[in-house]
Structure 1
């Protein structure tokens, strides 16, 4: 990105084209947000916040990283701890789902894989190989109900928590 900014050949801060600078910065998939300040007479300050890596996903037989900025990032980074998304969700759908997980009692770090179905329903595989089946609606409530079973010492041998039916949990 720095190289692309240098290619703009900014000679005079007064003739600075802010939209071209924004275009260069926004084209970088690693940028979450940014701000550009003109500091007269001759300085330009750009503050950039990097995006967070959230998950890996296969798109057209290529593995990408999903950033918290909603962009797909080339998988050139060491990221073995990221959950893998199976299925074809829109990135916005995934980000909404991730937000619900963050608002629930579950920790996103407990997740190994995410499964998205064409019906827009999610399943979650946890690091301990427990599969959590969620409904399309009431996701946060289902996560919180399942969390109670997940942490109950009387249910240590659980391999499946089915929370697809409202106010009902089935365990195997």
Structure 2
């Protein structure tokens, strides 16, 4: 033990001498390479260029003194970004790996439809080849994301939903590709949706168009 302590003392003493021998002029003369390359992965080329343009406007100095808040602000301002990580590659490049959000619905805001991402952000509705349910009403964005989360946990197939209707009473109606409309109770969870799914699998729908599940422990089928 005394020998280890003596070694540590010698190492600290050597470091003290080394640091003390560097004067202010030496520190001032130290120069770091500016960041020369930023690689972005996970987005389409046009979206990558937009982030790169904004990052270049930051005039990033070098890899050792990156302003993390500014960097995060630019990346997170992009509505397509759900998750990301930044990897410094010495001496003068960084990699930004992005997980692109999945779109979950089209929602009307101020008379214009937007794509709503699983990250809770809105993007311009400029993708025509993607099938998504439309949201009617004025729900909070977090309420839509939470609804999608509960449906995904249940036995109900979200891809079969064509419309989601939100009411000011905090209640939802779901309309499916087979024109069936399900009226959900104000409060529901995965278990509620699983009971509805089980009920639908074990009855003959015939001409029934509406399943009213608003009353607890009751399933009422209606023609209209």
Q: How high is the TM-score relative to the length of structure 2? A: 0.72
Q: Tell me how far 1:13 sits from its aligned partner.
A: 1.4
The answer to whether 1:7 aligns with 2:57 is yes
The answer to whether 1:161 aligns with 2:216 is no
Comparing 38-47 with 90-99, which one deviates more in the overlay? 38-47
Q: Tell me how far 1:104 sits from its aligned partner.
A: 1.1
Relative to its length, the structure with more helix (as a share) is 2
Q: For residues 137 and 55 of structure 2, what CA distance do their matches in structure 1 show?
A: 37
1:62 counterpart residue number: 112
The answer to whether 1:111 aligns with 2:161 is yes
1:132 counterpart residue number: 182
Q: Tell me how far 1:30 sits from its aligned partner.
A: 0.6
Aligned length: 172
Relative to its length, the structure with more strand (as a share) is 1
Q: Tell me how far 1:138 sits from its aligned partner.
A: 2.6
1:73 counterpart residue number: 123
1:37 counterpart residue number: 87
Q: Tell me how far 1:153 sits from its aligned partner.
A: 5.5
Q: For residues 158 and 152 of structure 1, what CA distance do their matches in structure 2 show?
A: 14
Q: For residues 21 and 78 of structure 1, what CA distance do their matches in structure 2 show?
A: 32
Comparing 5-14 with 102-111, which one deviates more in the overlay? 5-14
- SS at 1:2's partner residue? helix
Which of 50, 60, 69 aligns to 1:19? It is 69
Gaps of 5+ in 2: 1-50
Q: Tell me how far 1:39 sits from its aligned partner.
A: 2.2
Q: For residues 171 and 145 of structure 1, what CA distance do their matches in structure 2 show?
A: 14
- Aligned-CA RMSD value: 1.5
1:145–1:169 CA contact under 8 A, matched in 2: no
Gaps of 5+ in 1: none
Comparing 107-116 with 30-39, which one deviates more in the overlay? 30-39
Q: How high is the TM-score relative to the length of structure 1? A: 0.93
1:138–1:166 CA contact under 8 A, matched in 2: no
1:94 counterpart residue number: 144
Change (3 A) 1:158 1:80: farther
Change (3 A) 1:138 1:3: same
Indicate the structure (1 or 2) with the bigger Cα radius of gyration.
2
